[in-house]
Structure formats: C-alpha cells, structure tokens
Amino acid sequence: MQSVSLIGFGEAGSTFARAGHWGDSARAYDVQDKQSDYGAVGVAGCAALPDALQQSPAILSLVTANQAMAVAKAASQSIAPGALFFDMNSVAPDTKYRAAEYIEKAQGRYVDVAIMAPVHPAELHVPLLLSGAYAAEGAAVLTDLGFDNIRVVDGKVGKASSIKMIRSIMVKGMEALTAEMMLAAHEADVSEEVLESLGTEWTEKAAYNLERMTTHGLRRAEEMEQVALTLDALGVEPLMTKGTIVRQREMPNKEGWAK
C-alpha cells in the first residue's frame, strides 16, 4: 500500500487511518497529544511535523480551517520534492491558491480536495472532489489508499473548494435555520407541533442537524467564515452566511438545552 503522512489526527484523520487499515504505513502528527489515538489504529505518531513528512510521497492535511494555511507553510519546509500534498481542509479557494504557492515553491505537488459529506458513517466511501494540475495523479494515490468515491473536476486549484464552499451555504445554513426554529419552538412549548407541521421526516432531520451543530458548531463556524471569504471574492454579499456563522458558533454552548 502507498505510504502516507497525516497532518491532523482528529475525526477525519483517525477515521480514514482506521478504515483503510493503514497501520504502520502511515505516520501522523497533531499539535495535541494523540499518542493513545495513534496506538488505537496502529499508525506511527511523530513528535514533530518534519518527522511525519520526511521522504513521504503522499501527505493528507486534515486540520481546522483556521490552521490550513499555517500547516501548508510549515509543510513546505519539510516536504519531499514531488510529494503529493492533499489539502482536504474546508477553506476558501483563495486560501488554497496561497497554500498551493508554498507547496509548489518547495517542489511539492498540491491537490485541492473537497470532502463533500461527513466522514461518519461513510469513512473511505466519503465523496471527494479533486482539482488542480495534479488531481489525476492524486486520484490514483487516494484510490490506492482505499478511497473509492473520487471525482476529478476540470479546473485549477480552488475549483473543488468552490463547489464545497458554495454548497455549504445551503447545508450549514439549513442547520442554522433548524436551530433557530427549534430554540424558538422550545421556548414557546410548541416543538412537536412545529415539527409535525413540516412533515414526518422533520423530527429526525431536526435532531440530526442539532447534533451536528452542538458537536461540531465551532468547526462549522470556521468553515462558514471561509464561505464568507469565498462570497466576498465573488462579489456576493454574505448576508445569510454571516447569520449562519453566529448560530453555528453558539450552539456548542447549548448542548442539552432541550432536555
């Protein structure tokens, strides 16, 4: 199997490594102490980023949106010439353009990757969009690692991320609207009636949306800040997106509010 390095070992990184049975074919680095997590899936944990990247032919960057640029800059100091750098972070196209400049100046090969669905329960079946000059080569490597739902989209770095960012306006926006609706319904003591009026599927849908926000709202707010940057660059005022950011950011503080 293709050897691989992971920058960031949170939900996505640990899920991919476990599902792919990458074991000691993978090296991982995270700014937090993740030794127990590394051991649980058998990957080699590294104390420093250069150790994780040394002579690695494939690097998956899976960090929070606000760290994506810093990680690309740091990785450019240690990346092996010709190595593929898969930027799988949820950031604006302009952020990926700038990250690509760092990697390619260091003779790495940058691939814009958009993860288009939650990694649970999809794992390696999660849909991925790839763009950029090295997208086709990148798709072959990711296939070797076990990913099986990959699509290369024509276009330069940023095309895949544009699709994800613009799509997130609807996906994360619907979550935020759900939260606002349910907060009000709870206060008015009409939650069941409101959900019934929307249709039988909405009880489950609302519960899912609220769980995603209370668990991942801060990360989603960071992503939506990147969406706002995307819209600004396109000349579209992010009116609704700004509201989504606020609502997503506050929901982790409201875990258990309806109980």
Model confidence pLDDT, tens digit, residues 39-72: 999 999 999 999 999 999 999 999 999 999 999 9
Confidence of residue 253 (pLDDT cuts 50, 70, 90): confident
CA angle 74, 78, 82 (to 5 degrees): 115
Predicted pLDDT of residue 23: 95
Classify residue 36 by burial, with Cβ atoms within 10 Å: 0-12, 13-18, 19+.
Answer: exposed
- Proportion of the chain above pLDDT 90, given as a percent: 96
Q: What's the CATH number for 4-157? A: 3.40.50.720
What is the average pLDDT across 202-220?
94
- The answer to whether 89 touches 116, Cβ cutoff 8 Å, is no
Predicted pLDDT of residue 257: 63
B/e letters for 75-88, b = 16+ CB within 10 Å, e = fewer, are bbebbeeebbbbbb
Q: How far apart are the C-alpha atoms of 229 and 240, rounded to whole Å?
A: 13
Q: Is the pLDDT of residue 242 over 90?
A: yes
Q: Is the pLDDT of residue 258 over 80?
A: no
Residues of the chain within CATH 1.10.1040.10 domain(s) are 165-254
Secondary-structure class of domain 165-254 per CATH: mainly alpha
Place of tokens 């600004």: 232
Classify residue 146 by burial, with Cβ atoms within 10 Å: 0-12, 13-18, 19+.
Answer: middle
Q: How far apart are the C-alpha atoms of 85 and 68, rounded to whole Å?
A: 12
Predicted pLDDT of residue 254: 82
Q: Is the pLDDT of residue 15 over 70?
A: yes
